[in-house]
Structure 1
Amino acid sequence: MAEVKQGKYLGLPMVISRTKEQRFGYIRDNIKRRLESWKNKLLSPTGKEVMLKVVTMAMPTYVMSCFKLPRKLLKYINSAMANYWWGEMNGKNKIHWISWKRMAEDRQEGGLGFMDLEAFNKALLGKQVWRVITKPNLLVSKVLKAKYFPKESIFTCKAQGNASWFWKGIMEVRGTVEEGVRRRIGNGRGTKIWEH
């Protein structure tokens, strides 16, 4: 029997049957290949910063807007960028004089302004929650509502064990979104006085 290969649609895996780490390994491989192809010695620190921010940090953005990436993968990406930043000599990484966390701080605080990928992933998924709330007539909002929360709010529905990876990612960040959401009463018809 022939093995069926899983394809991609719009750059995302169509079926996620294995662990997320295995399924999103192509992101790690693409970043590794891209960093290895750049000539580290030929770039100034400014050139390295631009390459890391514009290319490397942008590569997983589309996937992060749909799935919660594993923390291990995000740590690998940060580590690969730090290794590229500090460079290597004779096949060994040079000393990292400042931690990546310090380099990721804002410029006003003494860092270089690299993105915190985990927080960025949460923000992108939070944007999806916000889209479901504010644009209920979109097809994706209608499908998610019909499948996962037909009679309740996105904030009160239970996370199902057999849900898609997309929905599981949204469920992990909905609490963060809920903290910042405020209800406008308007005419009061849609407001449940004891629940809202």
Structure 2
Amino acid sequence: MNRAVELQRFNGFSFGGDDLVISHLQYADDTLFIGEATTENLWVIKAILRAFEMASGLRVNFHKSCLMGVNVSNEFMNMGAEFLNCRLGSVPFKYLGLPVGANPRRLVTWQPLLNTLQNKLSVWGNRYVSLGGRLILLNSVLSAIPIFFLSYMKMPVIVWKEVVKIQRKFLWGGVSDRKRISWVKWETICLPKREGGLGVRDLRIVNTSLLAKWRWRLLQNEDAMWSWSCDVRSVGGEVAQNLNWFSSSVSRTVSNGRNTRFWLDKWTPDGPLMLKFPHLFSLSRSPEATIGDMGNWLGEAWFWDFTWRRNLFVWEENQFHSLLSSLRPLVNRTGMDSWRWEPDPEGVFSARSVYSLLVHRWSLANLTIHQHKEVLALVWTSKAPMK
């Protein structure tokens, strides 16, 4: 396929500011051809599949293959499906359990998930489960089923309310149809036990924690092909209480300083230097320079070299000396700079650490819970089994 694109026999789909062209994607034993709706592309696809059969001795199962089009006439789609001897598909479609091409903001996209949760409750319909047992089932089953969806799509508020409605009804009333009173608000139930909650995972925070993995991967590989399609700005939300929670939780580990901006990136314990020394930042001739550009190696020693728009006044020189005293020289010429996840002692990112961070931020924002934290922690010190 790559050769066909190079010879301009197959026209892939181009998008993005850099005219990125994608002709095919592969995952495991699945192959997805992406291109313009032309007869020439159909001939190339059929020729490639036939060549694959002859070279490998395998046969393509066209009955399990389908042809899908976006803004393509029905006449062309019917002709293409008959030409390739495959069935017609439509967008959105389901792949590996996820709706591809669906609008995640619509309730209908999440309806299969809600149906799965309801069906799971019907399985437990004829069983008596105590409150402790319902809590275990809630954490291990009802809160685990949506994980796959939450790893790729942001859950709308209306869907979250429906899921919480199912979870709350099961926790307080089991699977009976009788309406029971919810004695504690759901936000308190989702707090850790040491803070007076039941330890039930808040799916809003779980969703944010799982989506944060994509933002972290984007930091690790900003030139990845998939990065153009990710709107990492949506990672956050009301549960974070602070839209800058992710930026404040990452920092740069400096080696050669070639990939870390001196003024703009967070690589010192006090945060970005542009915030700590804003006046010196405004006087710098290289506000976007990297650390490696702000000095020179003399033998095995590193020396800082700053250039200013004008000569510094005496009081500005005092700030400059304060800046120099807060810097540490580079010690590695060959190593590459990397990102560090501050909440983890080892600097390793994980969704679990993100969840703990956001839950802690939420509990601090709730002054009532924070003030009574020590008292509420005593609630769960009993060694009696939950009933």
Q: TM-score range by the shorter chain?
A: 0.7 to 0.9
**Residues 86 and 93, structure 1, Cα contact 8 Å, conserved in 2:** no
* Residue aligning to 2:67: none
Could you tell me which runs of 5 or more consecutive residues in structure 2 were left unpaired when the two chains were aligned. 1-73, 75-87, 237-243, 266-387
Deviation at 1:127, TM superposition (A): 1.5
* Residue aligning to 1:46: 132
TM-score of the pair, normalised by structure 2: 0.40
Letter in 1 for 2:133: G
Q: Secondary structure at the match of 1:8?
A: strand
Match of 1:87 among 173, 179, 183: 173
Could you tell me which runs of 5 or more consecutive residues in structure 1 were left unpaired when the two chains were aligned. 149-163
**Residues 65 and 128, structure 1, Cα contact 8 Å, conserved in 2:** no
Letter in 1 for 2:154: K
**Residues 189 and 199, structure 2, Cα contact 8 Å, conserved in 1:** yes
Q: Which stretch has the larger CA shift, 172-181 or 45-54?
A: 172-181
Deviation at 1:98, TM superposition (A): 1.7
2:126, 2:186 → 1: CA distance? 18
TM-score of the pair, normalised by structure 1: 0.76
**Residues 172 and 181, structure 2, Cα contact 8 Å, conserved in 1:** yes
Percent sequence identity over aligned pairs: 27
* Residue aligning to 1:121: 207
Q: Secondary structure at the match of 2:254?
A: coil
* Residue aligning to 2:254: 185
**Residues 28 and 77, structure 1, Cα contact 8 Å, conserved in 2:** yes
* Residue aligning to 1:133: 219
* Residue aligning to 2:154: 68
- Which one has the bigger helix percentage? 1
- What is the CA RMSD across the aligned residues, in angstroms? 2.7
2:126, 2:233 → 1: CA distance? 40
- Specify which structure has the bigger relative contact order, considering alpha-carbon pairs within 8 angstroms and separated by 6 or more residues: 1
Q: What is the total number of aligned residue pairs between the two structures?
A: 172
**Residues 131 and 172, structure 2, Cα contact 8 Å, conserved in 1:** no
**Residues 48 and 85, structure 1, Cα contact 8 Å, conserved in 2:** yes
* Residue aligning to 1:31: 117
Letter in 2 for 1:191: T
Q: Secondary structure at the match of 1:182?
A: strand
**Residues 160 and 203, structure 2, Cα contact 8 Å, conserved in 1:** yes
Larger Rg: 2
Letter in 2 for 1:74: W
Letter in 2 for 1:143: M
